[in-house]
Amino acid sequence: MKTQDFILLDEGYGAHNYHPLDVVIERGEGVWVHDVEGKKYLDCLSAYSAVNQGHCHPRILKALTEQASKVTLTSRAFRNDQMGLFLKELCEFTGYEMALPMNTGAEAVETAIKAARKWGYQVKGIASDQAQIIVANGNFHGRTTTVVSFSTEAQYKQDFGPFTPGFVAVEYGSIEALKAAINPSTAAILLEPIQGEGGVIIPPEGYLKEVRELCDQHNILFIADEIQSGLGRSGARFACDHEGVRPDMVILGKALSGGFYPVSAVVADQKVLGLFKPGDHGSTFAGNPLGAAVAREALKVLQEEKLIERSRTLGAYLKAELEKIDSPIIDFVRGKGLWIGLVLKEPARKYCEALRERGILCKETHVNVIRIAPPLVIEQAELDLIVSEFKAVLTASEKVLV
């Protein structure tokens, strides 16, 4: 079967809820993937930061296959020999007292919302069913009906109502907007420390620290959604670490399993997660032995191979090199670590398609931004290749790309 055969299958039998580039990937290793016709591509998306450790990392693959040959699922009706070790190692890595494992990032966001509301009623004393959570304009926390209820992207909400109440959205990066939105029923502020889907948008310096101070002042929980920004992507353990800020809850996913298996989690201290009682929350697959074994190894790879440090150093190099490209199409470059948004003065899709033809895979977001986020195992020579191909595409005549 050829590329077009697979595309016809996808289009003919699948719901059209994505607009992927027309490449059909068959296998991957490290930063490279190969399509069904044998062409090689450098992956600059990392499955939206789920593959920080690189495609099919041998250590994580070994952990997966070894555990899969023993037991894969016990449900939470019984205990298994991997979940406790995973929770301990995750808490030691993050510096929090407790963790609650889930599967997808959206599930972890829902978990954090439930935990914040429970804390609001049982600890802060908010009147029943009145808890409010403040979010930011341009947020992306998932696709569930609760989460899209507080999205400010019109398409994410259209025809999916009625929506879940209890959320108010304010300007991202504005402390004054946050202050104005706080009232006695405010239980939490939920933010992405860097807005990934929004186009790698970084708030003003000092913003996260001021959010932390505001939460302390008003007895509000600070929830950081680090599903994409965490685990090394921004050049730090968490993006909040850049300002020395410790949120009350951190939401993790994606790279927590190195792209092998859906694993997510919420980490917090006992004063928050300790409020959950049996029956309050759960999932059949959450904390399963296969996912736990994979996540344990994914965390070890991240630390032992110093991928966080690599992201910080190589990300600064990549950003500086991209800023040197002299092209009237480029508006500006922003980013932290190996997470860069190349903002163009026109729609980005055709440039992503042109890059695909040259063996570079990246994806547009918010129409005019190219998101660049290669696996953290990338080498400098491969970064030079990325820059070279971007330069070739962005300095070519527009006629070539139409």
Q: Say how far apart CA 180 and CA 130 lie, in whole Å.
A: 18
In the annotation, is 39 catalytic? no
Sheet with 25-29: list strands edge to edge.
25-29, 32-35, 40-43, 360-361
What's the burial of 334, exposed, middle or buried (CB within 10 Å: 0-12/13-18/19+)? Answer: middle
E strand map for 141-209: 167-170, 186-191
CB proximity list for 83: less than 8 A, separation 6 or greater:
101, 287, 288, 289, 292
Nearest to 318 by CA among 256, 263, 373: 373
> Residue 304, CB half-sphere, CA atoms under 13 Å: how many?
8
Q: State the catalytic residue, choosing from 124, 222, 248, 254.
A: 254
Q: State the catalytic residue, choosing from 124, 150, 222, 225.
A: 225
Q: Say how far apart CA 291 and CA 260 lie, in whole Å.
A: 9
Q: State the catalytic residue, choosing from 86, 140, 260, 285.
A: 140
Q: How many other C-beta atoms are found inside a 10 Å radius of the C-beta of residue 29?
A: 12
In the annotation, is 167 catalytic? no
Q: Please give the C-alpha separations between residue 80 and each of 63, 74, 88, 128, in angstroms, as whole numbers.
A: 16, 7, 14, 37
In the annotation, is 254 catalytic? yes
CB–CB of 267/252 below 8 Å? yes
Q: How many other C-beta atoms are found inside a 10 Å radius of the C-beta of residue 300?
A: 16
Sheet with 249-252: list strands edge to edge.
98-102, 264-268, 249-252, 221-225, 186-191, 132-136, 167-170
Q: Long-range pairs for 326-332 at CB < 8 Å and ≥24 separation?
A: 326/395, 327/391, 327/394, 327/395, 329/394, 330/394, 331/368
- The SS3 assignment for 308 reads helix
Cite the active site residues.
140, 225, 254
